[in-house]
Chains A and B, each alone.
Chain A
Amino acid sequence: MKYKDEFRNKHEIRKYVDRIGEKAADRSISLMEVCGTHTMAISHYGIRNMMPEYLRLISGPGCPVCVTPNSYIDHAIALAKLDDVIITTFGDMMRVPGSTSSLEHVRSNGADIKIVYSAMNAVEIAEANPLKTVVFLGVGFETTAPTIAASIKVADECKIKNYYVLSAHKVMPPAMESLVLNKKIGIDGFICPGHVSTVIGSLPYSFLAEKYNKACVISGFEPVDICASILMLVEQVTDGNPRIEIQYKRAVKPEGNPAALKMMYDVFEPCDSEWRGIGLIKESGLKIKNEYKGFDAYDAIEVETEPLKELNGCICGDVLQGLKFPYECGLFKTVCTPENPVGACMVSSEGTCAAYYRYENNWT
């Protein structure tokens, strides 16, 4: 990657960490990162342990795979079991547990499930298999949703009638609001997601500062970026001047990417959506608009799903809200490992439990 060395320079990291340490906070400060890629980077580079006593870094809902609820996985599994259906999906979804099974499991029993890199590949599969029903599992935040919207538009233009999307897309700001409203968590500021923000820009977060007095900095993903962002956040908190700032200026404009936003809202509209562990959050999801209803797998394909069941012993729901750390789960590392994951937070490579398992060995 370009400029990689500059953004990973140990001396730079040290300087920022020293600066953060010099800020004498008269109380503890809790900052939450809400993006799984940030969770991974913070764990990987050991940033949590570099921070001074007064500063607590907690992980939030993070990755779209983790927050996708059982009911959605069950729906996808039910579709996969139908004759003449091809399920297309990003690879991370394969091992996520539903109520009693996973996509990986039903594939080993003969279901036709193909892993794709891009939603456009799914459209190509539909075009090449006109007698099959091809369903793409639309999972992802605002980073991903415009690319899925684009696939629907292209399918529409090319008159591909056997392509459907099962949308579980989610948008970040309403989820951040619900985390702020949960007093048990006690967040002072957010390390705002970098790539979500390349699309939505900085404006959609401003209510967090204005209405709730939360510090907000949109951060890049390299360790120097993250340390710089933490310093900016600590300054906002200690100066009593919460606002939204962009540290990741090389990729994020205040207005985001208008072309991507237009694509997203041409095809999708907001809807209430369920997040694993958090529950239903108003206007936090994206559903396919009426105009493109023909591509909506929920409407077009009737299917019966199995009764909903939650996993015994897994505390993913609390981990996703920053209420508990992975090592507070009785199954962590003993029963639940990346090879044999029990919950979604361990399955996803960007899940909080997976990040702690791989990089943070200092839990007690």
Chain B
Amino acid sequence: MCLAVPMKLIQFEGVNGVVESDGVIMDVNIMLIEEPKIGDYLIIHAGFAIQKLDEKEALETINLFKELRDESE
């Protein structure tokens, strides 16, 4: 039930945002996000964006996986 998915903010006005992922477009409320920007990946749950996805951290986590793989190979 706490299922939440990252989607990209493609448009917004006030608290009303439009997000997209894999061609699916949805209206979401973005009142819980500070300083939203077009292109942000937002974590969407029950019609609201509840947090921004930190792309830098996402890439760092992936690099960590890669390092581990390289180390073990």
Contacts and interface: CB of A to CB of B under 8 A. Distances in A.
A18 B72 contact: yes
Nearest to A148: B46
Interface in A29-65: 35-37, 63-65
Contacts of A253: 54
Query: Which label, helix, strand, loop or mixed, suits the secondary structure of the A interface?
Result: helix
Contacts of A250: 53-55, 57-58, 61
A90 B62 CA distance: 34
Contacts of B22: 1
B60 to A, nearest CB: 7
B3 A16 contact: no
B72 A147 contact: no
A259 B34 contact: yes
Given A146-B50, A257-B51, A64 B1 contact: yes
Interface string B24-67: 00000101111000000101011110110111011011101100
Given A92-B1, A250-B57, A260 B65 contact: no
Given A3-B58, A9-B65, A257 B2 contact: no
Query: Which label, helix, strand, loop or mixed, suits the secondary structure of the B interface?
Result: mixed
Interface stretch (A113-121, A297-305, A312-320): A113-121
Contact of A117 (B5, B47, B57): B47
Contacts of B45: 143-144, 147, 195
Given A9-B65, A199-B51, A257-B51, A65 B21 contact: no
B48 A147 contact: yes
A295 interface: no
Contacts of B31: 150, 259, 263
A328 B22 CA distance: 41
Contact of B2 (A11, A18, A64): A64
B65 A6 contact: yes
Interface string A221-262: 000110010000000000000000001011111000111100
Contact of B46 (A37, A144, A193): A144
B7 to A, nearest CB: 9
Contacts of B46: 90, 117-119, 140, 144, 147
Nearest to B41: A2
A15 B72 CA distance: 7
Contacts of A199: 50-51
Select the residue from B33, B48, B62 with max chain A CB neighbours within 10 A: B48
A198 interface: yes
Contacts of B8: 2
A260 B29 CA distance: 12
Nearest to A12: B65
A118 B32 CA distance: 14
Nearest to A198: B51
Contacts of B29: 118, 120, 147, 150
A147 B34 CA distance: 15
A7 to B, nearest CB: 8
Given A37-B2, A63-B1, A144-B1, A150 B48 contact: yes
A232 to B, nearest CB: 11
Contacts of B69: 11-12, 15
Interface of A: 1-3, 6-7, 9, 11-12, 15-16, 18-19, 35-37, 63-65, 90, 92, 117-121, 139-141, 143-144, 146-147, 150, 193-196, 198-199, 220, 224-225, 228, 247, 249-253, 257-260, 263, 348, 350
20 contacts: A1-B21, A9-B65, A18-B72, A35-B2, A36-B2, A64-B2, A117-B46, A118-B48, A144-B1, A144-B45, A195-B3, A196-B2, A198-B43, A198-B51, A220-B61, A249-B57, A253-B54, A259-B31, A259-B34, A260-B50
